[in-house]
Amino acid sequence: MPRTGEICTLSGLYQGDCGHSHRFDRGDTFTPCSYCARAVTWIRVGA
């Protein structure tokens, strides 16, 4: 599971362990959650 600061290798919708979701595209850097502004682990939940 990718964490904040890592590079996205598969585009899609990701949910952080904080419960908020964000879309990342291949090559993007996983950012901190834009809602709660903390570093999270991201889980891909959809295309």
Per-domain boundaries in the chain: 12-46
Q: Which pLDDT score, from 0 to 100, does residue 8 have?
A: 98
What is the per-residue pLDDT across 1-47, written as a single tens digit (0 to 9) for each? 999 999 999 999 999 999 999 999 999 999 999 999 999 999 999 98
Q: Which pLDDT score, from 0 to 100, does residue 13 have?
A: 98
Q: Which pLDDT score, from 0 to 100, does residue 19 have?
A: 96
Q: Which pLDDT score, from 0 to 100, does residue 7 have?
A: 98
- Is the distance from CB of 44 to CB of 10 less than 8 angstroms? yes
pTM (two decimals): 0.91
- Name residues whose C-beta falls within 8 Å of residue 3's C-beta, 6 or more positions apart in sequence: 30, 39, 40, 41, 42
